[in-house]
A and B are shown apart, each in its own frame.
Chain A
């Protein structure tokens, strides 16, 4: 078994530092398994949303409620952040810590922008339209599904920020590299979920709602 610090001591960082140690490879694999479970988690939330999509009771329906421009803006922001996290991993594979940290920083900022839009959207509904969790079965399902995704974005922002700090403190090593790689996987998965959310919740909501 190669221990992380033995690697560090030898100096040179391998090309794919996230897979250089057994611990690193385990971490990446374990995170894939976790994402498989997350797929079921969000799948069940989507199932809940889909089955309750027309159960608006006295509240507004999806097509009355949603505004496409905000959703489009949020979508493009998250899509760009996915690209910047790809660039971050490429910088990591080049062994360029500064570039890696910069791309991660941009990803975090874009994530924050997405979150601000989402919070704005939710407050509009709650304050303006008096449309909350308790309004209807549809509203419960909407806030829970989109809120779960938003909570994931928030967690990702905090996580990646902490990793940027660690990159400066500990450097890019075979210990920090798997953490960065796994956080990038997480970020892509968040975008995957969002693709389904903007399609199923917002766009289909406009079309068939």
Chain B
């Protein structure tokens, strides 16, 4: 059960007062940099293909973690169930992708 005590408002407020736009702007700049690296690598070309693929995937995963963790608050307390069910969704999605990549063509 989510124990949300309404009388606890002051404490909550205090915690959030420090959460200005700066943190999100930093996360945003981080995402922009990740995106730029990804696009620049592809636009420049000439880099080893396997390395590029790996790099692009890492950039994508990092950016998704920023979105989910910071902007969708999954890193905050009280998000156990959302994390479990998002992880479940990504897990099954991964199964489908593995099947499609490895067990489709022979």
Chain A positions near chain B (C-beta within 8 angstroms): 2, 14-16, 19-20, 25, 29, 32-33, 35-40, 42-44, 46-48, 50-51, 68, 72, 75-76, 79-80, 82-83, 86-87, 90, 93, 185, 188-189, 191-192, 195-196, 198-200, 203-204, 206-208
Contact = CB atoms under 8 A, between A and B. Distances in A.
18 contacts: A14-B9, A15-B12, A19-B4, A29-B2, A32-B82, A32-B86, A35-B86, A35-B89, A36-B88, A40-B89, A46-B96, A82-B28, A192-B64, A195-B64, A196-B64, A199-B38, A200-B60, A203-B56
A179 to B, nearest CB: 16
Nearest to B6: A14
Contact of B85 (A33, A93, A185, A199): A33
> By DSSP majority rule, is chain A's interface helix, strand, loop, or mixed?
helix
A87 B53 contact: no
Given A29-B82, A39-B86, A195 B60 contact: yes
B63 A195 contact: yes
A86 B73 CA distance: 10
B12 A72 contact: no
A43 B90 contact: yes
Interface of B: 2, 4, 6, 9, 12-13, 16, 19, 21, 24-25, 28, 31-32, 35, 38-39, 42-43, 49, 52-53, 56-57, 59-60, 63-64, 67-68, 71-72, 81-82, 85-86, 88-90, 92-94, 96-97, 99-101, 104-105
A43 B90 CA distance: 7
B60 A196 contact: yes
